[in-house]
């Protein structure tokens, strides 16, 4: 039975509740897997773009493909499946956002004062990009964001507020490409991926655990972090901590981590380790075996 508080919302998110064979049909989930950048398919981009007026930069879909968390939904779902299979009394909740971060980022704190803005190279990408200029587009996007945020707020309260654990599942590009996000984002990205420029960018860790705030405060459970690191190390996967970024206060991930200390863990996977082929400007196909390899470690780490 699906909890009426957690149901998929068309154009906003997909919700799945997975119960073990011995779990109560009415029991609350004790594991949450959130994928705030879960709009990874061309169809996700096309569906929202068809509702917006624009205008937008030419080829903006290229920015979508290169900057969405491909593989994260597959890993998250597989973690949930493994958890309830191994421990049949447990229940897992998976929330996959369907709103492309190309237009509005559901992992950013957006309120009544938030305005579309650009970002400089190396900075956090904006909550709402500065090429969102049409008032109707702005209202639609903020409305969808609000629906997603409201559901996720309830999910964290339901799971983490009662002693459960939440994994914030992300993926990032193989290299740390720092370019401003503005009206020229598409041409900047194509330049960054040219054969002359691309080799100059720094290769990222295979897995990065985002556990601390910028001032060094640890929000994740050290015991859980150690289990995850040990598991990936045994699997031959390189693990870093806070190498790509920290839990910045403008991210909703940081909000939930601070609100529920030791109950959440944010994790990044390198996309080329999940996709059959890394194709930055086209939809990628995820290899189920590669996703399961990563999921196996996380499922074991959050075992009761």
Does 93 score more than 50 pLDDT? yes
Q: What is the mean pLDDT of the chain?
A: 96
Place of tokens 């691309």: 198
pLDDT in tens, 157-175: 999 999 999 999 999 999 9
Q: How confident is the model at residue 119 (pLDDT cuts 50, 70, 90)?
A: confident
Share of the chain above pLDDT 90, in %: 93
Cα end-to-end span (Å), the chain: 23
Give one word for 122, left, alpha or beta, with left for phi > 0 and alpha for psi -120 to 50. Answer: left
Residue 13 is predicted with a pLDDT of 98
Half-sphere exposure of 16 (CA within 13 A, CB side): 16
Tell me which fold the domain 13-301 belongs to: Aminopeptidase (3.40.630)
> Per-domain residue ranges for the chain?
13-301
Residue 280 and residue 270 in contact, taking contact as beta carbons nearer than 8 Å:
no
Nearest to 23 by CA among 124, 93, 76, 71: 93
pLDDT in tens, 224-277: 999 999 999 999 999 999 999 999 999 999 999 999 999 999 999 999 999 999
Cα 272 versus chain centre, distance: 16
Cβ-proximal residues to 211 (8 Å cutoff; 6+ apart), any chain:
218, 219, 220, 225, 241, 242, 247, 265, 266
What's the pTM value of the predicted model, to 2 decimals?
A: 0.96
Residue 161 and residue 32 in contact, taking contact as beta carbons nearer than 8 Å:
no
- Report in angstroms the alpha-carbon separations of 164 from 5, 192, 249, 264: 17, 41, 23, 9
């Amino acid at each position: 039975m699906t909890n009426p508080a957690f149901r998929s919302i068309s154009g906003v998110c997909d919700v799945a509740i997975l119960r073990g064979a011995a779990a109560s049909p009415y029991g609350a989930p004790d594991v949450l897997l959130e994928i705030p950048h879960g709009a990874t398919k061309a169809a996700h981009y096309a569906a929202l773009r068809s509702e917006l007026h624009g205008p937008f930069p030419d080829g903006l879909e290229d920015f979508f493909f290169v900057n969405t968390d491909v593989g994260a939904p597959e890993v998250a779902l597989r973690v949930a499946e493994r958890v309830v299979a191994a421990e049949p009394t447990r229940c897992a909740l998976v929330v996959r956002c369907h709103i492309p971060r190309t237009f509005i980022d559901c992992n950013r704190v957006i309120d009544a004062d938030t305005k579309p803005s650009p970002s400089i190279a190396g900075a956090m990408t904006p909550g709402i990009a500065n090429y969102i200029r049409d008032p109707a587009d702005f209202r639609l996007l903020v409305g969808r964001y609000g629906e997603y945020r409201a559901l996720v707020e309830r999910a964290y309260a339901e799971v983490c507020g009662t002693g459960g654990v939440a994994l914030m599942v992300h993926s990032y590009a193989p290299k740390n490409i720092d370019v401003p996000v503005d009206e020229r984002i598409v041409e900047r990205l194509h330049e960054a991926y040219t054969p002359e420029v691309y080799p100059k960018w720094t290769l990222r860790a295979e897995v990065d655990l985002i556990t601390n705030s910028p001032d060094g405060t640890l929000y994740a459970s050290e015991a859980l972090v150690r289990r995850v690191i040990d598991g990936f190390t045994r699997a031959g996967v390189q693990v870093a901590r806070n190498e790509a970024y920290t839990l910045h206060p403008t991210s909703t991930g940081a909000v939930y981590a601070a609100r529920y200390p030791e109950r959440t863990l944010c994790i990044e996977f390198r996309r080329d380790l999940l996709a059959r082929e890394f194709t930055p400007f086209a939809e990628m196909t995820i290899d189920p075996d590669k996703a399961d390899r990563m999921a196996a470690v996380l499922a074991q780490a959050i075992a009761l």
